[in-house]
Amino acid sequence: MIAWRAYAAVGLGSALGTALRYLVSLAMPGLAGPAFPWATLAVNALGSWLIAAFAAYAARRTSGRMARWQPFLVAGFCGGFTTFSLFGLETLQLLEQGRAGLALAYVLLSVVLWLAGAWSGHRVGHRAAARA
């Protein structure tokens, strides 16, 4: 793919993913309380599921159709939707508030959900490709 097309696809996907993450962060404090960064936890787990599901599906569908969506969906949407820097900042904020136990719980729960999300997504994508 021509380089500028890849950059345009990633930029567009990342803009959409980032905007959706922002909307989730606005919607979730009202539902779950602002004490714990549920929104970032949710988007990072969901994004991990989605990227692994797509990668596993695309790996078995070797026609070019899926590969064309990869820059937009993987590096673009999933990359922009999930965030490491805000996760780190939220952890630091919990520590600053003297809630070290909650900060540790946030980090551990995050890592478990990221990996569980990727693992589950991989299985689902793999099976979906086998059925298709």
Among 37, 57, 70, 83, binds other proteins (CB under 8 A): 83
Q: Is 86 in the site for other proteins (CB under 8 A)?
A: yes
* Shorter beta-carbon distance to other proteins: residue 26 or 35: 26
> Taking CB under 8 A as the rule, does residue 31 contact other proteins?
yes
Alpha-carbon distance of 120 to 123, in angstroms, equals: 5
Q: Measured from the CB of residue 96, what is the shortest distance to other proteins in angstroms?
A: 8
CA distances from 107 to 26, 39, 45, 112, 113 (A): 21, 14, 12, 9, 10
Q: Is 39 in the site for other proteins (CB under 8 A)?
A: no
Per DSSP, which regions of 28-72 are E strands? none
